[in-house]
Amino acid sequence: MLSIALSELIQIFRNRLVLVTSMVMPVAVSAYFIHQHEVFAELGSLGYIAAIMMFTVGAFGLYATTVTTLASRRQNLFLKRLRSTAAGDAGILSGLLLPVTLISLVQVAVLLAVLGVVTQAPADPALLVAAVLATAAMMIGLGLATAGLTNSPEHAQVTTLPVSLGVIAVATWVGITGTEDLALLKRLLPGGAATELAVNAWNGGVPAADSLILLAPTLAWVVVAIALASRLFNWEPRR
């Protein structure tokens, strides 16, 4: 797995499109939110800014790169060749996705740390870590499912848009309006509960036990995404 991961890390830094998608664009957007934190804090809160940055990296960095990577490796038959080796399916996928996952987590950690220095530290860092990890797991699962519907890396630019824009729209909706109204709907939508969890973790004022319940909808989406991936994902090039 580690040899696959190292090879994939090298490919990420050689591919300009993937490099821009997974690193440059999410950081640039997040930097804008940090620079304009007073404006966005008035619109929502500091927790809202944290959630938006988390989902910007998760959607355009982790999720989109996951789909692009798997579609590309399938198209050039690299996935098929890897399956002829001693590595199992789980090891192959883990190796391919480990670099982009670690890069995304480091990005989120650095960006949230900068936000904390520029503004104020989160009220519950451990709860924020839980929100970040749950979100990452959800985006990886959705990426695996979407890769099953994606014919090529070029096609990934189209197939990833609904989920990428959708989770950011949900995060914006929940982060700005809260969950006083339509709470169940907002929490069941992908990204809604994770956004509320991140907001609570940063702003404080909500008991940790009550906030931890919000992990359930996000983890449920992980299960749904993995179930879809098991049915849709192909190791052979799609026709």
Which residue has better confidence, 53 or 15? 53
CA distance 64 to 140: 9
What is the chain's mean pLDDT, rounded? 88
Of the two residues 141 and 34, the one the predictor is more confident about is 141
- The string of DSSP letters for the chain reads -HHHHHHHHHHHHH-HHHHIIIIIHHHHHHHHHHHTHHHHHHHS-HHHHHHHHHHHIIIIIIIHHHHHHHHHHHHTTHHHHHTTSS--HHHHHHHHHHHHHHHHHHHHHHHHHHHHHHS---S-HHHHHHHHHHHHHHHHHHHHHHHTT--SHHHHHHHTHHHHHHHHHHHHHHHHH-SSSSHHHHHHSTTHHHHHHHHHHHH--S-HHHHHTTHHHHHHHHHHHHHHHHHH--SSPP-
pLDDT value at residue 188:
95
> What token pair was written down for 148?
């099953």
Quote the pLDDT of residue 49. Answer: 93
pLDDT(238) > 70: no
> Each residue of 83-101: pLDDT tens digit?
777 778 888 899 999 999 9
Tens-place pLDDT, residues 40-55: 888 889 999 999 999 9
